[in-house]
Amino acid sequence: MEVNKINHTAPDVFTQLLKAREKYTFPFEPREVGYITSVSAGIVKVSGLPSVGFEELLKFSGDLYGIAYNIDEDEIGVILLGDDSMLNVGDEVERTERVMDIPVGQTLIGRILNPLGQAVDGEGAIPHEHRLPIERTAAAIMDRSQVSVPLQTGLKVIDALIPIGRGQRELILGDRQTGKTAIAIDTIINQADKNVICVYCAIGQRASTIAKLIANLKEKGAMAYTVVVVTEGNDPPGLKYIAPYAATSIAEYFMEQGSDVLIVYDDLTHHARAYRELSLLLRRPPGREAFPGDIFYIHSRLLERSTHLSEELGGGSLTALPIIETEAQNISAYIPTNLISITDGQIYLSPKLFELGILPAVDVGKSVSRVGGKAQLPGYRSVTGNLKLAYAQFEELENYSRFGTRLDEETKKTIAHGKRIRNWLVQERLQPLSVVEQIVVLLALTKGYFDTIPLEKTRDAEAALQKASDELDADIIQRLFSKGKLSDEDQETILGLAKIALSPFGADKEESKTGEKATSNPVNGENHNPPENPASVD
């Protein structure tokens, strides 16, 4: 019986096998595979990929990727995104049919990653749900709103004289070691409890510099709302080139969710040099200073992505602080002038002020904000008044007085007031000040309350007044942040508080004694009164 049963079922099994074979189709997927024809430092030439697209991601052996950048008839110039030491001529290259992208999302906050989206902080892989291309089209003009909300940096000289608005692009430029990165880091630290997400992009920096910077951010608790994208000086030029674009895509994700974002590019000098290196290796024709002809375009398409979106698109903003390095204070060089024309203003740092110890070494005369004034709090505008003009007049008179010219009392008072303005602009690193502290001191300064205080005591007097600002009523503090100007009554209340706080330092002395300190050194308080000109004495 069992044998008959088996014979009976055998034809059914065979029929099922035949049907299964007919339904089965071999999964045939065509692949385009090319091969390497030459290998250079950060660049490879590839042949055999006729359908490859511009900026398409190509895969090499060893899980190494590159971007197709030169699409010629016979070969393709590829920018490598990793070490080329393991590649050889003849190795296979495979298309991925996608462009370079990077993971984005809330899980990136507090992490340190490279431009490929790989974590480099030793805390494991970064989980993510979304990826965005690193190259994205900037928002259309009709999708943008005007810059109307200030971005407080916590730095007196910037918030008062060169204000920055959310959605603005403000260039920071100056010679080496003048404090450019310090301004950016202080601005990031000041965003605590202000609902601003920060992205710091280090382009070709020394590993020790990056480590120190991250340590400062962790110490101040700023990593809780910051994403750090890093490339070191010994990284391939391809990674340095894509770093700011990858960081901007991360920032754009938060902006499109309706958040306010601050991004720092430190610095675009290294970015331009990396692109010049890649372009020359790809045999692209060099132009001015050996930079390729599209060097302006690579920075303009990057910075145009920073904006303030309209309410229909969520109302988020992306504020950019690109940093650029000048040589011998030459702000008219090729790359600086390019970026000055792209951005909405610049903050210039002077080596002369840095050497004098006036930090941050912002040259107020050469710095400008073309947008932020419209976003500045009215409380600032009502107390700054002619502060910038008074400071400019003081610098002119100070230079004039060095020739030994006899000065009248009014000129001496102007110089004394200007010295106190310059002393007020000095601020310690990693110590950003609140809006209330700045406005209270600034109001007392513009009204001349510091003019009778000896120059060597102004720092202590300012600290005492900042501490006393905590005693202001909540209603006045709220009006400082409102869209209306300070009323005369509020100003009188603040000035009354300032008079009490400054009285122990000599603020109630007679103004006639001001001339005694008129030309004291702003740094160490030494007396440098110019001698009278003998020829002018009767």
Q: What is the 3-state secondary structure (H, E, C) of 192-257?
A: CCCCEEEEEEEEEECHHHHHHHHHHHHHCCHHHHEEEEEEECCCCHHHHHHHHHHHHHHHHHHHHC
Q: Using 50, 70 and 90 to split pLDDT, how confident is the model at 523?
A: very low
Q: How many residues does the chain have?
A: 538
> What tens digit of pLDDT does each residue of 253-265 get?
999 999 999 999 9
Domain boundaries, the chain: 33-100, 142-375, 381-536
Query: Domain 381-536: what homologous superfamily?
Result: ATP synthase alpha/beta chain, C-terminal domain (1.20.150.20)
CATH code at 33-100: 2.40.30.20
Q: Which CATH number fits domain 142-375: 3.40.630.30, 1.10.357.10, 3.40.50.300, 3.30.930.10?
A: 3.40.50.300
Q: Is the pLDDT of residue 522 over 50?
A: no
Output the pLDDT for position 512: 36
Q: Using 50, 70 and 90 to split pLDDT, how confident is the model at 10?
A: low
The helix or strand, by DSSP H or E, that contains position 30, with its residue range, turns out to be: none
Classify strands 56-60 and 130-133 as parallel, antiparallel or unpaired: unpaired
Average pLDDT, integer, range 198-210: 96
> What tens digit of pLDDT does each residue of 366-414 get?
999 999 888 999 888 888 878 888 898 898 898 888 776 788 889 989 9
Report which of 163, 165, 179, 177 is spatially closest to residue 427, judged by C-alpha positions.
179
Average pLDDT, integer, range 222-233: 97
* Joined tokens for residue 125: 């892989």
Report CA 429 to chain centroid distance, whole Å.
17
Q: Is the pLDDT of residue 537 over 90?
A: no
The helix or strand, by DSSP H or E, that contains position 452, with its residue range, turns out to be: none
Q: Is the pLDDT of residue 510 over 60?
A: no
Output the pLDDT for position 529: 42
Q: Is the pLDDT of residue 49 over 80?
A: yes
Q: Using 50, 70 and 90 to split pLDDT, how confident is the model at 237?
A: very high
What are φ and ψ of residue 302, in 5° steps? -75, -50
Output the pLDDT for position 481: 87
The DSSP code sequence of 461-483 is HHHHHHHHGGGS-HHHHHHHTSS
How far is it, in rounded angstroms, from Cα 483 to Cα 276?
A: 47
Q: Is 111 among the catalytic positions?
A: no
> What tens digit of pLDDT does each residue of 417-448 get?
999 999 999 999 999 999 999 999 999 999 99
Output the pLDDT for position 534: 34
Catalogue the E-assigned strands of 334-384: 345-349, 368-369
Q: What is the pTM (predicted TM-score) of this model?
A: 0.88
Q: Using 50, 70 and 90 to split pLDDT, how confident is the model at 54?
A: very high
Q: Is the pLDDT of residue 63 over 50?
A: yes
* Joined tokens for residue 382: 């009502």
> What tens digit of pLDDT does each residue of 303-359 get?
999 999 999 999 999 999 999 999 999 999 999 999 999 999 999 999 999 999 999
Q: Is 326 exposed, middle or buried (0-12, 13-18, 19+ CB in 10 A)?
A: buried
- In DSSP terms, 130 is beta-bridged to 104
370, 381, 429, 479: the catalytic one is 370
**Largest separation between any pair of C-alpha atoms in the chain:** 144
With b meaning 16 or more CB within 10 Å and e meaning fewer, what string describes 130-139? eebebbeebb
> What tens digit of pLDDT does each residue of 92-106 get?
999 999 999 999 999
Q: Are 443 and 422 in contact (CB under 8 A)?
A: no
Please give the C-alpha separations between residue 8 and each of 2, 4, 15, 18, in angstroms, as whole numbers. Answer: 10, 6, 12, 17
Output the pLDDT for position 3: 45
Output the pLDDT for position 384: 84
Q: Is 428 exposed, middle or buried (0-12, 13-18, 19+ CB in 10 A)?
A: exposed
Please give the C-alpha separations between residue 328 and each of 35, 176, 349, 351, 393, in angstroms, as whole numbers. Answer: 46, 9, 12, 9, 26
Output the pLDDT for position 399: 84
Q: Is the pLDDT of residue 511 over 60?
A: no
Higher-confidence residue of 80 and 389: namely 80
